[in-house]
Structure 1
Amino acid sequence: MAKKTRSDFSSLLKDWRQRRRFSQLDLSLEAGLSQRHLSFLETGRARPSRQAISQLGVALDMPAGEVDNMLMAAGFTARSDATQWSAQEREAIEQSIDHVLNGHNPYPAVSIDCLWQVQKTNKGADGFFALFGLDPKPNLLRAFLQPGPLRASVVNWDEMAQTLMRLLHYELARHPNKPGTADFLAELKTLPGVATLLDKPITDYPAPVLTIHIRMGGADLRFFSLTATIGASTNAALDELRLETMLPADQATRDWFARNV
């Protein structure tokens, strides 16, 4: 078991070093380790300490969840599991997220994880999701890409879907060892029209800001999004959390929300 654990850690370390295009010498200098020790870690001849893994995580600019994977592969407890949260800290974070979401009403705002699964919503999002018959806490990518009322209402669906899939590939590149990511990507590619979009050339002259154009009930609604993250978190769940806020791109959209939400 110990040999298998060291081998798994060694593979993760080598994979991340190559992802960042570091030589062993470059990474050893960046992480404050000797090149000889780093070589032994990659071949499984040496066992890493928690401190060494933390230094490597910083040097490789790894997301918190990937540092957790490396710690567990080396036989340690995940850093996120070992984090001691006080009730006050937890409450402060939850209240701050709620403040941002609720302060964005009447426009939709949600908190989502790196695979676009909704964690929290505001009233604007609840009402908007209900118009399309979506679950209260849908997976936004799945809801947008699969055939249904939402997809049918998006005038520029091809352009938006292509962009969203690129963003998903970016997230998967940041979290290559997150459970379920490969299956999720494979599922989305089976949806009608999605795989074809991935091979479609990107426009030579994209708009400065991509807006989603929704046509419903005779109204044309246009939005753009602002994304916020929690800064400098070593907890995987918080590090992967994003706040997505939809903003009206024109006066007609603002007027529609004032009347209907």
Structure 2
Amino acid sequence: MLREWRKRRNLSQLALALQADTSSRHLSFVETGRAVPSRELVLRLADQLDVPMRQRNSLLMAAGYAPAYEETPISEAQMDRANEAIDRLLAGHDPYPALVLDSDSNLRRANRSAMALLDGVCEELLRPPVNIMRLALHPEGLAPRILNFAEWRVHLLGRLRRDAAFTNNECLTSLYDEVSGYRYPQGTAVPEGGADSEHQDGQQIAIPLRIRALGNELSFFSALTVFAAPADITLAELTIETFYPADAQTATVLHSHYQTVNWDEPAPGELVALWAAP
């Protein structure tokens, strides 16, 4: 396992040994099973290899030690402060969309404005756990309404492929194989050079999501936020994606929509809170 992580990070035994303050000889013995590393060395090596928290527990157990990190359900009392911070961020980002994703790209929470983008999506894709990659790329999901679908598809698949490689998450690898095989929405042209190639406009500051929603053509760029220095697997695996208007029309439409909606009514699909989803 250690050798696999080292190769994933493209490090030699000597380079990793120097970073982890051990000898390359001892590291070689550990990798071949001729030596048993201390708990402290396993954690140092995992830290230098930037191994995700869940997989650090796996390394420790493979070496004969107890896991170092807890996985606390977000609904537990000790998570109240983190939960409150997430709620504040989502609510404060209205009237612009914001999502909370887990390590498998499943949607765990969304603000009210995000719900406006889901109109017309197949009911099957909205059953928990809702996977954001399937939602975006499936021909019965958002794909038919994404105006720059080929460009956005390349972005999402690249992001998914990098996440799968970085974390060694088999679920993400399987998800990539699934969604990369979805057919293009009817009427969408496959770019020259194949489905995974797309010319990028050198004048763009970021790849936009251009989507038809609320009776208009909307354009967004997004940012990803994670918890700094988490000590719990649940927090370590959460990512908050916030979308911002890429043009004045999008901002105007979203502000207008937010002011006219009756927020006392339940959100469609009860997707505003999905912590209890399987």
**Residues 202 and 19 of structure 1, relative CA distance in 2, 3 Å threshold:** farther
Structure 2 partner of 1:151: 143
**Residues 82 and 40 of structure 1, relative CA distance in 2, 3 Å threshold:** farther
* Structure 1 residue 208 corresponds to structure 2 residue 197: no
Distance 1:217 1:98 in 2: 25
* Structure 1 residue 223 corresponds to structure 2 residue 220: yes
**Residues 256 and 201 of structure 1, relative CA distance in 2, 3 Å threshold:** closer
> Could you say what secondary structure the match of 1:111 adopts?
strand
Structure 1 partner of 2:195: 197
- Structure with a larger share of its residues in helix: 1
Residues 145-198 of structure 1, C-alpha deviation per residue, up to 9 Å, x if partnerless? Answer: 11025211111000000011001111111111x242222122112211499522
Structure 1 partner of 2:273: none
Structure 2 partner of 1:90: 79
- Structure-1-length-normalised TM-score: 0.84
Distance 1:80 1:45 in 2: 27
> Could you say what secondary structure the match of 2:165 adopts?
helix
> Could you say what secondary structure the match of 2:211 adopts?
strand
Structure 2 contact 219–246 (Cα < 8 Å) conserved? yes
Q: Is 96-105 or 121-130 further displaced after alignment?
A: 121-130
Counterpart amino acid of residue 142 in structure 2: L
Structure 2 contact 208–221 (Cα < 8 Å) conserved? yes
Distance 2:214 2:88 in 1: 31
Structure 1 partner of 2:56: 67
* Structure 1 residue 104 corresponds to structure 2 residue 93: yes
**Residues 187 and 149 of structure 1, relative CA distance in 2, 3 Å threshold:** closer
In structure 1, the gaps of 5 or more residues are 1-11
Counterpart amino acid of residue 205 in structure 1: G
Q: CA shift at 1:16, angstroms?
A: 1.6
Residues 13-49 of structure 1, C-alpha deviation per residue, up to 9 Å, x if partnerless? Answer: 1112222232222211211122222111000011222
In structure 2, the gaps of 5 or more residues are 259-278
State the identity as a percent. 31
- Please list, as runs of the form range in 1=range in 2, the aligned pairs for 1:1-261 lying within 5 A after superposition: 12-81=1-70, 89-130=78-119, 132=121, 135=126, 138-148=130-140, 150-176=142-168, 178-193=169-184, 196-198=194-196, 200=197, 202-203=199-200, 205=202, 207-216=204-213, 218-261=215-258
- Structure-2-length-normalised TM-score: 0.79
Structure 2 contact 152–209 (Cα < 8 Å) conserved? yes
> Could you say what secondary structure the match of 1:180 adopts?
helix
**Residues 82 and 246 of structure 1, relative CA distance in 2, 3 Å threshold:** closer
Distance 1:169 1:179 in 2: 11
Distance 2:127 2:253 in 1: 22
**Residues 136 and 127 of structure 1, relative CA distance in 2, 3 Å threshold:** farther
Structure 1 contact 115–171 (Cα < 8 Å) conserved? no
Counterpart amino acid of residue 79 in structure 2: R
- Alignment root-mean-square deviation, CA: 2.5
